[in-house]
Chains A and B, each alone.
Chain A
Amino acid sequence: MLFPVLCLVIAGGTVLTACQGGAPLEGGGPTATENRQEQPNRKQPASLDALRTRYASLKRQLAQQSPDNTYIVVDTARNVLVVKRKSNVLLTAIASTGSGTILDNPDRPGTQWVFDTPRGEFTIQSRLTNPVWVKPDWAFLEEGQKVPKDPAERLEPGILGEYALGFGKGYFIHGTLYTRLLGKNVTHGCIRLNDQDLRTVHRLAMIGTPVMIF
Protein backbone atom coordinates (compact mmCIF):
# COMPACT_ATOMS: atom_id res chain seq x y z
CA MET A 1 0.00 0.00 0.00
CA LEU A 2 1.29 3.44 -0.86
CA PHE A 3 0.53 6.52 1.12
CA PRO A 4 1.29 10.19 0.72
CA VAL A 5 4.59 11.71 1.68
CA LEU A 6 4.28 14.89 3.66
CA CYS A 7 6.59 17.81 3.35
CA LEU A 8 5.84 21.44 3.80
CA VAL A 9 7.06 24.59 2.20
CA ILE A 10 6.94 27.85 4.05
CA ALA A 11 7.28 31.33 2.63
CA GLY A 12 7.65 34.32 4.92
CA GLY A 13 7.20 32.17 8.01
CA THR A 14 3.73 30.95 7.02
CA VAL A 15 2.97 27.39 6.07
CA LEU A 16 1.58 27.69 2.58
CA THR A 17 1.15 24.20 1.39
CA ALA A 18 1.71 20.56 2.12
CA CYS A 19 3.62 18.35 -0.24
CA GLN A 20 2.90 14.74 -0.89
CA GLY A 21 4.39 12.12 -3.10
CA GLY A 22 3.59 8.55 -3.86
CA ALA A 23 0.35 8.22 -5.69
CA PRO A 24 0.61 8.62 -9.46
CA LEU A 25 -1.39 11.51 -10.82
CA GLU A 26 -3.20 11.44 -14.09
CA GLY A 27 -5.59 14.11 -15.21
CA GLY A 28 -9.02 13.23 -16.46
CA GLY A 29 -11.15 10.28 -15.58
CA PRO A 30 -11.90 7.27 -17.69
CA THR A 31 -13.97 7.82 -20.77
CA ALA A 32 -15.79 5.34 -22.89
CA THR A 33 -13.29 3.49 -25.00
CA GLU A 34 -13.91 2.83 -28.59
CA ASN A 35 -12.09 0.90 -31.24
CA ARG A 36 -13.08 0.50 -34.78
CA GLN A 37 -12.33 -2.41 -36.95
CA GLU A 38 -13.90 -1.93 -40.30
CA GLN A 39 -17.27 -0.83 -38.97
CA PRO A 40 -19.80 -0.55 -41.77
CA ASN A 41 -20.74 3.03 -42.52
CA ARG A 42 -24.51 3.21 -42.71
CA LYS A 43 -24.61 6.95 -43.33
CA GLN A 44 -24.88 8.47 -46.77
CA PRO A 45 -21.27 8.90 -47.94
CA ALA A 46 -20.12 12.51 -47.71
CA SER A 47 -18.60 14.18 -50.75
CA LEU A 48 -14.82 14.32 -50.97
CA ASP A 49 -14.87 18.10 -50.73
CA ALA A 50 -17.00 17.95 -47.61
CA LEU A 51 -14.60 15.42 -46.08
CA ARG A 52 -11.59 17.59 -46.93
CA THR A 53 -13.26 20.64 -45.39
CA ARG A 54 -14.16 18.67 -42.26
CA TYR A 55 -10.58 17.36 -41.98
CA ALA A 56 -9.10 20.86 -42.26
CA SER A 57 -11.58 22.19 -39.70
CA LEU A 58 -10.70 19.41 -37.23
CA LYS A 59 -7.00 20.12 -37.70
CA ARG A 60 -7.67 23.72 -36.68
CA GLN A 61 -9.74 22.57 -33.69
CA LEU A 62 -6.89 20.34 -32.52
CA ALA A 63 -4.41 23.20 -32.82
CA GLN A 64 -6.73 25.30 -30.67
CA GLN A 65 -6.36 22.82 -27.80
CA SER A 66 -2.72 23.80 -27.29
CA PRO A 67 -1.94 26.45 -24.66
CA ASP A 68 -2.24 30.06 -25.86
CA ASN A 69 0.62 31.21 -23.74
CA THR A 70 3.72 29.86 -22.02
CA TYR A 71 3.81 26.22 -20.96
CA ILE A 72 6.36 23.88 -19.41
CA VAL A 73 7.26 20.38 -20.60
CA VAL A 74 9.23 18.03 -18.35
CA ASP A 75 10.81 14.86 -19.71
CA THR A 76 11.45 12.74 -16.61
CA ALA A 77 13.32 10.03 -18.52
CA ARG A 78 15.94 12.44 -19.82
CA ASN A 79 15.64 14.98 -16.97
CA VAL A 80 15.02 17.96 -19.20
CA LEU A 81 12.66 20.88 -18.59
CA VAL A 82 11.59 23.03 -21.54
CA VAL A 83 9.64 26.27 -21.40
CA LYS A 84 7.76 26.97 -24.62
CA ARG A 85 5.37 29.50 -26.07
CA LYS A 86 3.53 28.09 -29.06
CA SER A 87 6.33 26.33 -30.95
CA ASN A 88 9.07 28.66 -29.68
CA VAL A 89 11.48 27.24 -27.13
CA LEU A 90 12.17 29.88 -24.46
CA LEU A 91 14.34 27.75 -22.20
CA THR A 92 15.85 24.27 -22.19
CA ALA A 93 17.17 23.31 -18.77
CA ILE A 94 18.76 20.23 -17.28
CA ALA A 95 16.67 19.12 -14.31
CA SER A 96 16.56 16.42 -11.67
CA THR A 97 13.34 14.47 -11.26
CA GLY A 98 12.03 11.62 -9.11
CA SER A 99 14.34 8.72 -8.27
CA GLY A 100 11.62 6.06 -8.45
CA THR A 101 12.97 4.46 -5.28
CA ILE A 102 10.82 3.34 -2.37
CA LEU A 103 11.15 3.63 1.38
CA ASP A 104 9.26 1.54 3.91
CA ASN A 105 7.45 3.42 6.64
CA PRO A 106 8.53 1.78 9.89
CA ASP A 107 5.64 3.41 11.77
CA ARG A 108 3.06 1.85 9.47
CA PRO A 109 4.22 -1.59 8.38
CA GLY A 110 3.09 -2.55 4.91
CA THR A 111 3.10 1.02 3.70
CA GLN A 112 5.82 2.80 1.78
CA TRP A 113 6.75 6.01 0.04
CA VAL A 114 7.41 5.95 -3.72
CA PHE A 115 9.60 8.80 -4.91
CA ASP A 116 8.26 9.41 -8.42
CA THR A 117 7.63 12.69 -10.19
CA PRO A 118 3.93 12.57 -11.11
CA ARG A 119 3.11 12.26 -14.83
CA GLY A 120 0.32 14.14 -16.53
CA GLU A 121 -0.73 17.73 -17.01
CA PHE A 122 -0.72 20.14 -14.09
CA THR A 123 -0.74 23.91 -13.64
CA ILE A 124 1.44 26.26 -11.62
CA GLN A 125 -0.53 26.92 -8.47
CA SER A 126 1.91 28.86 -6.32
CA ARG A 127 5.02 31.00 -6.78
CA LEU A 128 7.06 31.27 -3.60
CA THR A 129 10.08 33.46 -2.94
CA ASN A 130 12.79 32.27 -0.53
CA PRO A 131 10.90 29.10 0.37
CA VAL A 132 11.74 27.22 3.53
CA TRP A 133 11.60 23.44 3.37
CA VAL A 134 9.65 21.78 6.12
CA LYS A 135 11.28 18.36 6.26
CA PRO A 136 8.75 15.56 5.99
CA ASP A 137 8.93 12.33 8.01
CA TRP A 138 10.66 10.38 5.24
CA ALA A 139 13.55 12.85 5.12
CA PHE A 140 14.36 12.07 8.77
CA LEU A 141 13.81 8.32 8.41
CA GLU A 142 15.98 8.17 5.32
CA GLU A 143 18.82 9.74 7.30
CA GLY A 144 18.33 7.37 10.21
CA GLN A 145 17.06 10.16 12.45
CA LYS A 146 14.04 10.28 14.70
CA VAL A 147 11.06 12.29 13.50
CA PRO A 148 11.01 15.41 15.71
CA LYS A 149 7.92 16.35 17.69
CA ASP A 150 8.69 20.06 17.55
CA PRO A 151 7.65 21.44 14.13
CA ALA A 152 10.40 24.06 14.38
CA GLU A 153 12.98 21.29 14.09
CA ARG A 154 11.69 20.49 10.61
CA LEU A 155 12.54 23.86 9.10
CA GLU A 156 15.41 23.93 6.61
CA PRO A 157 15.88 27.37 5.06
CA GLY A 158 18.05 27.98 2.01
CA ILE A 159 18.13 24.56 0.39
CA LEU A 160 15.27 25.02 -2.11
CA GLY A 161 16.86 28.02 -3.82
CA GLU A 162 15.34 31.44 -4.40
CA TYR A 163 11.99 30.24 -5.67
CA ALA A 164 9.58 27.33 -5.54
CA LEU A 165 6.75 26.91 -8.03
CA GLY A 166 4.06 24.53 -6.83
CA PHE A 167 2.25 22.49 -9.45
CA GLY A 168 -0.21 20.66 -7.23
CA LYS A 169 -0.40 17.90 -4.64
CA GLY A 170 2.56 19.56 -3.00
CA TYR A 171 5.10 19.02 -5.77
CA PHE A 172 7.40 21.91 -6.66
CA ILE A 173 9.89 23.12 -9.21
CA HIS A 174 12.68 24.51 -7.05
CA GLY A 175 16.43 25.07 -6.80
CA THR A 176 19.09 22.81 -5.39
CA LEU A 177 22.42 22.81 -3.61
CA TYR A 178 23.37 19.60 -5.40
CA THR A 179 23.88 20.95 -8.92
CA ARG A 180 26.26 18.09 -9.79
CA LEU A 181 23.23 15.78 -9.64
CA LEU A 182 21.28 17.72 -12.28
CA GLY A 183 20.43 15.46 -15.20
CA LYS A 184 19.82 12.51 -12.89
CA ASN A 185 16.76 10.96 -11.29
CA VAL A 186 17.54 11.72 -7.68
CA THR A 187 14.66 13.69 -6.16
CA HIS A 188 11.72 12.63 -4.02
CA GLY A 189 9.29 13.77 -6.71
CA CYS A 190 9.99 17.49 -7.04
CA ILE A 191 11.79 18.99 -10.04
CA ARG A 192 15.15 20.64 -9.34
CA LEU A 193 16.87 23.27 -11.47
CA ASN A 194 20.03 25.33 -11.15
CA ASP A 195 19.71 28.93 -9.89
CA GLN A 196 19.81 30.62 -13.26
CA ASP A 197 17.25 28.34 -14.91
CA LEU A 198 15.03 28.60 -11.85
CA ARG A 199 15.05 32.40 -12.13
CA THR A 200 14.06 32.17 -15.79
CA VAL A 201 11.25 29.70 -15.10
CA HIS A 202 10.00 31.88 -12.26
CA ARG A 203 9.99 34.91 -14.57
CA LEU A 204 8.16 33.10 -17.37
CA ALA A 205 5.69 30.92 -15.47
CA MET A 206 2.63 32.49 -13.91
CA ILE A 207 -0.17 30.99 -11.85
CA GLY A 208 -2.09 28.77 -14.26
CA THR A 209 0.84 28.02 -16.56
CA PRO A 210 0.43 24.40 -17.75
CA VAL A 211 3.10 21.87 -16.77
CA MET A 212 3.12 18.71 -18.90
CA ILE A 213 5.16 15.90 -17.40
CA PHE A 214 5.93 12.61 -19.11
Chain B
Amino acid sequence: MLHAAPSASNEKGDERESLQEATRLLEEEIKLASRPQIYLLLDLSEPILYIKGRGIELHRLPVLQWKTSGGGFLSGLFRLRGRPEVDRPKAEPSKDPSLPTDLEPINLQDMPAEYLLLFEPGLLLVVAPPLHEQPWLWARSRLREWWLRFASWTGVASPADQVAGPRLRLTLTGEAARSLAWTVTDGMPLLIGRTVPL
Protein backbone atom coordinates (compact mmCIF):
# COMPACT_ATOMS: atom_id res chain seq x y z
CA MET B 1 0.00 0.00 0.00
CA LEU B 2 1.30 3.42 -0.92
CA HIS B 3 1.16 6.37 1.40
CA ALA B 4 1.10 9.88 0.09
CA ALA B 5 4.05 11.97 1.30
CA PRO B 6 2.88 14.48 3.90
CA SER B 7 2.50 17.93 2.44
CA ALA B 8 4.53 20.83 3.81
CA SER B 9 1.39 22.52 5.09
CA ASN B 10 0.37 19.37 6.99
CA GLU B 11 3.81 19.11 8.57
CA LYS B 12 3.66 22.75 9.59
CA GLY B 13 0.21 22.21 11.03
CA ASP B 14 1.43 19.25 13.08
CA GLU B 15 4.44 21.18 14.29
CA ARG B 16 2.26 24.13 15.24
CA GLU B 17 -0.10 21.87 17.17
CA SER B 18 2.69 20.08 19.00
CA LEU B 19 4.47 23.35 19.77
CA GLN B 20 1.25 24.80 21.14
CA GLU B 21 0.71 21.79 23.36
CA ALA B 22 4.31 21.71 24.59
CA THR B 23 4.12 25.46 25.27
CA ARG B 24 0.88 25.11 27.26
CA LEU B 25 2.46 22.34 29.32
CA LEU B 26 5.57 24.40 29.96
CA GLU B 27 3.42 27.30 31.13
CA GLU B 28 1.65 24.99 33.56
CA GLU B 29 4.89 23.42 34.72
CA ILE B 30 6.49 26.79 35.41
CA LYS B 31 3.57 27.57 37.72
CA LEU B 32 4.05 24.24 39.52
CA ALA B 33 7.82 24.61 39.67
CA SER B 34 7.56 28.09 41.19
CA ARG B 35 6.10 26.61 44.39
CA PRO B 36 7.75 24.41 47.03
CA GLN B 37 6.13 21.13 46.11
CA ILE B 38 6.72 17.77 44.44
CA TYR B 39 4.68 17.08 41.31
CA LEU B 40 4.28 14.45 38.62
CA LEU B 41 4.75 14.99 34.92
CA LEU B 42 3.48 12.30 32.57
CA ASP B 43 5.20 12.89 29.26
CA LEU B 44 3.24 10.90 26.73
CA SER B 45 5.79 11.53 23.98
CA GLU B 46 8.48 9.36 25.59
CA PRO B 47 6.45 7.96 27.55
CA ILE B 48 7.86 8.53 31.05
CA LEU B 49 6.32 9.53 34.34
CA TYR B 50 8.62 12.03 36.05
CA ILE B 51 8.70 12.91 39.74
CA LYS B 52 9.78 16.54 39.82
CA GLY B 53 10.35 19.54 42.05
CA ARG B 54 11.34 23.06 40.94
CA GLY B 55 11.52 21.77 37.38
CA ILE B 56 14.21 19.26 38.37
CA GLU B 57 13.81 15.60 37.57
CA LEU B 58 14.02 13.75 40.90
CA HIS B 59 13.09 10.31 39.61
CA ARG B 60 11.63 8.73 36.49
CA LEU B 61 9.28 5.80 36.02
CA PRO B 62 9.20 4.35 32.50
CA VAL B 63 5.70 3.75 31.15
CA LEU B 64 5.41 0.49 29.24
CA GLN B 65 2.06 1.35 27.66
CA TRP B 66 -0.67 3.92 27.99
CA LYS B 67 -4.17 4.20 26.68
CA THR B 68 -6.92 6.77 27.12
CA SER B 69 -10.62 6.21 26.82
CA GLY B 70 -13.83 8.02 27.62
CA GLY B 71 -12.69 11.42 26.39
CA GLY B 72 -10.61 13.30 23.86
CA PHE B 73 -6.85 13.52 23.87
CA LEU B 74 -5.68 14.02 27.42
CA SER B 75 -3.59 17.03 28.35
CA GLY B 76 -3.44 19.40 31.31
CA LEU B 77 -3.21 19.63 35.06
CA PHE B 78 -4.96 17.34 37.54
CA ARG B 79 -4.82 16.91 41.32
CA LEU B 80 -4.92 13.63 43.17
CA ARG B 81 -7.98 13.14 45.37
CA GLY B 82 -6.33 10.60 47.65
CA ARG B 83 -3.35 8.27 47.71
CA PRO B 84 -3.82 4.48 47.74
CA GLU B 85 -4.54 2.92 51.10
CA VAL B 86 -1.47 1.62 52.88
CA ASP B 87 -1.71 -1.21 55.37
CA ARG B 88 0.42 0.22 58.18
CA PRO B 89 1.79 -2.04 60.92
CA LYS B 90 0.74 -0.90 64.36
CA ALA B 91 3.27 -0.78 67.19
CA GLU B 92 2.07 -2.12 70.50
CA PRO B 93 3.63 -0.53 73.57
CA SER B 94 6.03 -3.05 75.04
CA LYS B 95 4.88 -4.57 78.35
CA ASP B 96 8.47 -5.22 79.33
CA PRO B 97 10.84 -2.23 79.07
CA SER B 98 13.78 -4.60 78.60
CA LEU B 99 12.13 -5.93 75.42
CA PRO B 100 11.72 -3.02 73.01
CA THR B 101 9.12 -3.39 70.29
CA ASP B 102 10.55 -4.86 67.14
CA LEU B 103 8.11 -3.91 64.41
CA GLU B 104 8.66 -4.51 60.72
CA PRO B 105 8.51 -1.14 58.94
CA ILE B 106 6.66 -0.67 55.69
CA ASN B 107 8.79 -0.64 52.58
CA LEU B 108 8.36 -0.40 48.85
CA GLN B 109 7.28 -4.04 48.57
CA ASP B 110 4.27 -3.30 50.81
CA MET B 111 2.90 -0.87 48.23
CA PRO B 112 0.26 -2.04 45.75
CA ALA B 113 1.26 -2.73 42.14
CA GLU B 114 -2.31 -2.43 40.88
CA TYR B 115 -4.63 0.39 41.88
CA LEU B 116 -6.87 3.22 40.75
CA LEU B 117 -6.19 6.89 41.36
CA LEU B 118 -8.92 9.51 41.13
CA PHE B 119 -7.97 13.03 40.11
CA GLU B 120 -9.73 16.38 39.94
CA PRO B 121 -11.09 17.43 37.54
CA GLY B 122 -12.52 14.02 36.66
CA LEU B 123 -9.77 11.64 35.66
CA LEU B 124 -9.43 8.00 36.53
CA LEU B 125 -5.86 6.74 36.39
CA VAL B 126 -5.61 2.97 36.25
CA VAL B 127 -2.17 1.64 37.19
CA ALA B 128 -1.37 -2.00 36.57
CA PRO B 129 1.57 -4.25 35.74
CA PRO B 130 1.73 -5.88 32.29
CA LEU B 131 -0.26 -9.03 31.63
CA HIS B 132 2.85 -11.19 31.19
CA GLU B 133 4.38 -9.99 34.48
CA GLN B 134 1.43 -10.42 36.84
CA PRO B 135 -1.66 -11.81 35.05
CA TRP B 136 -3.77 -11.90 38.20
CA LEU B 137 -3.17 -8.22 39.02
CA TRP B 138 -3.71 -7.26 35.40
CA ALA B 139 -7.08 -9.07 35.36
CA ARG B 140 -8.08 -7.57 38.70
CA SER B 141 -7.36 -4.05 37.47
CA ARG B 142 -9.55 -4.63 34.41
CA LEU B 143 -12.32 -5.88 36.65
CA ARG B 144 -12.00 -2.98 39.06
CA GLU B 145 -11.98 -0.45 36.25
CA TRP B 146 -15.06 -2.02 34.73
CA TRP B 147 -16.84 -2.14 38.09
CA LEU B 148 -16.10 1.51 38.86
CA ARG B 149 -17.45 2.57 35.48
CA PHE B 150 -20.52 0.42 35.95
CA ALA B 151 -21.11 1.71 39.50
CA SER B 152 -20.73 5.32 38.36
CA TRP B 153 -23.05 4.79 35.43
CA THR B 154 -25.75 3.09 37.51
CA GLY B 155 -25.36 5.47 40.46
CA VAL B 156 -24.26 2.72 42.86
CA ALA B 157 -20.89 4.40 43.49
CA SER B 158 -20.52 6.75 46.44
CA PRO B 159 -20.08 10.43 45.51
CA ALA B 160 -16.37 10.17 46.36
CA ASP B 161 -15.96 7.34 43.85
CA GLN B 162 -17.96 8.89 41.04
CA VAL B 163 -15.90 8.88 37.89
CA ALA B 164 -16.80 11.35 35.22
CA GLY B 165 -14.49 12.13 32.37
CA PRO B 166 -11.59 10.38 30.78
CA ARG B 167 -9.73 7.30 31.90
CA LEU B 168 -6.03 6.75 31.51
CA ARG B 169 -4.56 3.30 31.81
CA LEU B 170 -0.85 3.14 32.60
CA THR B 171 1.05 -0.11 32.34
CA LEU B 172 4.10 0.07 34.61
CA THR B 173 6.44 -2.62 35.88
CA GLY B 174 5.47 -3.82 39.35
CA GLU B 175 8.45 -1.95 40.81
CA ALA B 176 7.53 1.31 39.08
CA ALA B 177 3.87 0.97 40.09
CA ARG B 178 4.88 0.51 43.73
CA SER B 179 7.22 3.48 43.51
CA LEU B 180 4.39 5.64 42.23
CA ALA B 181 2.06 4.44 45.01
CA TRP B 182 4.76 5.27 47.54
CA THR B 183 5.39 8.74 46.14
CA VAL B 184 1.92 10.16 45.62
CA THR B 185 0.39 12.34 48.31
CA ASP B 186 -3.10 13.74 48.67
CA GLY B 187 -3.60 16.72 46.37
CA MET B 188 -0.40 16.04 44.42
CA PRO B 189 -0.43 17.74 40.99
CA LEU B 190 -0.14 15.64 37.84
CA LEU B 191 0.64 17.29 34.54
CA ILE B 192 -0.11 15.24 31.43
CA GLY B 193 0.82 15.85 27.83
CA ARG B 194 3.52 15.79 25.21
CA THR B 195 6.39 18.02 26.29
CA VAL B 196 8.56 17.68 23.19
CA PRO B 197 7.40 19.37 19.99
CA LEU B 198 7.76 17.51 16.70
Contacts and interface: CB of A to CB of B under 8 A. Distances in A.
Contact of B121 (A35, A38, A122, A185): A35
Nearest to A105: B93
A5 to B, nearest CB: 12
Given A33-B77, A37-B71, A37-B72, A184 B105 contact: yes
Given A37-B166, A65-B33, A77 B182 contact: yes
A143 interface: yes
Contacts of B19: 48, 51-52, 55
Given A35-B121, A119-B183, A144 B59 contact: no
B3 interface: no
A30 interface: yes
Interface residues of B, number: 67
Given A35-B77, A100-B105, A66 B93 contact: no
Interface residues of A, number: 58
Contacts of B28: 34
Interface string A18-51: 0000001011101101111110010001001001
A214 interface: yes
A41 B16 CA distance: 12
B78 A35 contact: yes
Interface in B141-198: 166, 178-179, 182-183, 185-188, 197
Nearest to B25: A58
A37 B74 contact: yes
Contacts of B186: 24, 26
Interface string B80-113: 0000001011110111110111010111100000
Contacts of A61: 26, 30
Contact of B100 (A34, A45, A143, A186): A143
A158 interface: no
B36 A100 contact: no
Given A100-B105, A119-B185, A144 B97 contact: yes
B105 A186 contact: yes
Interface in B41-72: 51, 53-56, 58-59, 71-72
B35 A27 contact: yes
A148 interface: no
A60 to B, nearest CB: 10
B77 A27 contact: no
B38 A212 contact: yes
B126 to A, nearest CB: 17
A179 to B, nearest CB: 17
A36 B90 contact: no
A76 B186 CA distance: 17
Contacts of A149: none
28 contacts: A27-B36, A27-B37, A35-B76, A35-B121, A37-B73, A48-B15, A55-B22, A65-B30, A65-B34, A66-B56, A77-B179, A78-B108, A99-B106, A101-B90, A101-B91, A102-B88, A120-B36, A120-B37, A120-B38, A142-B101, A143-B94, A143-B97, A143-B101, A144-B99, A184-B105, A210-B36, A212-B56, A214-B38
Given A121-B36, A123-B36, 7 more contacts: A65-B33, A66-B55, A73-B56, A103-B93, A142-B94, A212-B58, A214-B51
